[in-house]
Amino acid sequence: MANFKNSRMAEDIKREMTAILRELKDPRIDPMLTIVRADLSGDMSVCKIYVSSYSGIEKSLDSVKGLTSASGFIKRELFHRLKMRKSPELTFIADNSIERSAEISRKLNDLLK
């Protein structure tokens, strides 16, 4: 039962983080940034949020710096939007999965031609 609640809360955090990203005004945060995954710990005290950018891993790393500096605002917004009892500590991690999947798609299209 706890695992279901945990995965549901992680999906809620991912959904709300996507909306919060659009509200942030930090120039370091890439406008093409995407939330790939949110991993919530078993006791819901720590949440790792994986972000990826269409512009590449360098932009993702810069965006992580901006998100880390805005983590207090993000944490407060999540707390209010999800009506949580305790807001988890947020850790942002740059991921290059979108860039990698675009490269694989390009290679597959080249094979078909």
Nearest to 14 by CA among 66, 62, 49: 49
In this predicted structure, what is the pLDDT of residue 3? Answer: 80
In this predicted structure, what is the pLDDT of residue 2? Answer: 57
In this predicted structure, what is the pLDDT of residue 94? Answer: 92
In this predicted structure, what is the pLDDT of residue 1? Answer: 45
In this predicted structure, what is the pLDDT of residue 6? Answer: 85
Spans of the chain, pLDDT less than 50 = 1
In this predicted structure, what is the pLDDT of residue 84? Answer: 82
Nearest to 32 by CA among 14, 45, 51, 15: 51
DSSP label at residue 87? P
Measured CA to CA in angstroms, residue 61 lies from 2, 44, 79, 107, 111 at distances of 33, 25, 25, 25, 32
